[in-house]
Amino acid sequence: MTQPTPAHCPPWCTADHPADELPDDQIHRSDGAQFPAVTRRRVYAEGRFRPESEAAEFHVEASSPFGTEEIWVTIAHDNGAIETTVDGIPRLQRALEDVMQQLRQ
């Protein structure tokens, strides 16, 4: 397989592609962005579920396996992640805006 080079990379790719990178590891990646937020999870303790909150640093990045046209967007923190195709981001954005609008009423 051809080694990715800047000529093979989409304009948004800022990943280093070492010469010894295995084909399955060849992924274009954006710089991404970070934001802090408080997360909540439910834990089972003392016979019941309780919510636990904690501060988290989220990382958002775009990625694309080398040799494909598909672009994925990942929203991740230390305890989990969601990934969607780039086409899902406008729908996610609209859903978040809808919830924010509901909270303003």
Report helix, strand or coil for 104: helix
41 in a structural domain? yes
Q: Is the dihedral of CA 42, 46, 48, 51 positive or negative?
A: negative
Q: What is the pLDDT along the chain (105 residues), one digit of tens a residue?
A: 444 556 688 999 999 888 888 877 889 999 999 999 999 988 998 899 999 999 999 999 999 998 889 999 999 999 899 999 999 999 999 999 999 999 999
4 in a structural domain? no
Closest-CA residue to 52 (of 38, 62, 65): 38
5 in a structural domain? no
8 in a structural domain? no
Q: What is the number of structural domains in the chain?
A: 1
Query: Where does residue 66 rank: exposed (0-12), middle (13-18), buried (19+ CB within 10 A)?
Result: buried
* Rounded Cα distance, 16 and 47, in Å: 49
Full residue range of the structural domain in which residue 49 is found: 23-104
88 in a structural domain? yes
Residue 76 contacts by C-beta under 8 Å, 6 or more apart in sequence? 58, 59, 60, 82
81 in a structural domain? yes
pTM of the predicted model, to two decimals?
0.78
92 in a structural domain? yes
What local confidence, expressed as pLDDT, does residue 7 receive? 64
33 in a structural domain? yes
What local confidence, expressed as pLDDT, does residue 55 receive? 94
